[in-house]
């Protein structure tokens, strides 16, 4: 089916690293690679819309499209009316627009009879490719170290893989080898980047999948006796993680030391009252409250997508123990 091919083309536009090169990060405009990937996403979306335009109003998907499209238009107009530079507004809103395109594409593909496994296959491939490519490119070509890995190797594919794992555990009646691959890619991306926040999508996926499984048991779709069989991939992933930890301890002891620092010693070793990530989130929250309080109406409509913010100055004494003045955190 043409819609399946176009869906693959759409997801392949996210498979590689489309961030701006360091040489043009501070400048205007986009690179050729970014334009090619964006054209791939745009052309494939237009093609799918032309093929399946008669399915756009099929409910309940149409309601989600209406809500998300309205939200996107509102956010952009709100930003422009509040003085956010149009270029910055559109650049920050682009991921929301691409998410809207993905919703439309998957909705049409499903309405045209494409099986769910066929719809998620390109998502799975793009996520795994993006995780692997960012790690490979960063370590081989960019000389990324453990200290800078969390800024350079993080992949949005981790979120997709987390959601994919939850759906696979629920919807697949039998074990499939791709589940082990997904678990391996997810935990590889987490471990190599030494980033605790990447655990959150996986935890959320487990919680949501567990809740849906209990609902399925109540409705007669699943049985509690099936739970151990569905947990086999996690047991296999646990064995792989333990084995990988042993290998890392033997050949990359600095990786375990970095995780130990991030989990247990970051605050005390730097004479901080709390972990630096927690402090910066509090500084952002305090700044948000200060910005919005200047005009209480902003508590309702915000400042718009792309609006600038800052860390509240009251947190500067501690944050500067980690980040040098003028440094980009």
Which H, E and C letters describe 272-325, residue by residue? CCCCHHHHHHHHHHHHHHHHHHCCCCHHHHCCCCCCCCCCCHHHHHHHCCCCCC
pLDDT band for position 23 (50/70/90)?
Answer: very low
User: Is the model's pLDDT at 329 over the cut of 50?
Assistant: no
pTM of the model: 0.76
List the domain boundaries for the chain.
Answer: 1-114, 116-254, 270-319
Identify the pLDDT of residue 198. Answer: 78
User: Is the model's pLDDT at 280 over the cut of 50?
Assistant: yes
Of the ranges 53-57, 183-187, 273-277, which is most confident? 53-57
Compute the distance between CA of residue 130 and CA of residue 181 in angstroms, rounded to an integer.
Answer: 14
Compute the distance between CA of residue 90 and CA of residue 99 in angstroms, rounded to an integer.
Answer: 14
Q: What is the mean pLDDT of residues 216-225?
A: 84
DSSP 155: -
List the single range of 68-72, 96-100, 185-189, 214-218 with lowest mean pLDDT. Answer: 185-189
Of the ranges 102-116, 198-212, 256-270, which is most confident? 102-116
User: Is the model's pLDDT at 66 over the cut of 90?
Assistant: yes
Q: What is the mean pLDDT of residues 141-167?
A: 76
Identify the pLDDT of residue 199. Answer: 80
Identify the pLDDT of residue 170. Answer: 80
pLDDT band for position 269 (50/70/90)?
Answer: low
User: Is the model's pLDDT at 19 over the cut of 60?
Assistant: no
């Amino acid at each position: 089916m043409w819609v399946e091919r176009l869906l693959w083309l759409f997801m392949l536009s996210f498979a590689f690293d489309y961030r701006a090169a360091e040489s043009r990060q501070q400048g205007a405009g986009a690179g050729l690679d970014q334009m090619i990937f964006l054209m791939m996403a745009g052309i494939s979306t237009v093609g799918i819309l032309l093929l399946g335009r008669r399915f756009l109003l099929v409910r309940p998907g149409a309601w989600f499209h209406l809500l998300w499209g309205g939200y996107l238009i509102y956010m952009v107009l709100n930003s422009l009316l509040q003085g956010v530079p149009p270029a910055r507004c559109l650049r920050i809103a682009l991921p929301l627009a691409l998410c809207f395109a993905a919703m439309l594409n998957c909705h049409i593909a499903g309405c045209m009879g494409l099986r769910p496994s066929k719809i998620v296959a390109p998502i799975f491939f793009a996520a795994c490719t993006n995780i692997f490519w960012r790690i490979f490119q960063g370590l081989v070509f960019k000389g990324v170290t453990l200290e800078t890995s969390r800024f350079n190797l993080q992949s949005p594919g981790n979120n997709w893989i987390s959601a994919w794992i939850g759906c696979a555990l629920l919807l697949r009646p039998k074990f499939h080898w791709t589940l082990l691959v997904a678990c391996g890619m997810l935990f590889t991306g987490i471990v190599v980047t030494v980033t605790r926040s990447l655990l959150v999508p996986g935890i959320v996926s487990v919680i949501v999948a567990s809740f849906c499984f209990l609902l399925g048991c109540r409705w007669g779709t699943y049985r509690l006796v099936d739970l151990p069989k569905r947990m086999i991939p996690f047991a296999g992933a646990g064995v792989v993680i333990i084995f990988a930890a042993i290998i890392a301890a033997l050949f990359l002891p600095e990786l375990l030391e970095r995780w130990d620092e991030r989990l247990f010693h970051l605050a005390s070793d730097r004479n901080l009252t709390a972990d630096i990530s927690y402090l910066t989130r509090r500084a952002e929250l305090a700044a948000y409250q200060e910005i919005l309080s200047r005009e209480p109406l902003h508590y309702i409509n915000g400042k718009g997508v792309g609006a600038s913010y800052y860390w509240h100055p009251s947190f500067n004494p501690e944050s500067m123990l980690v980040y040098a003045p003028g440094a980009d955190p």
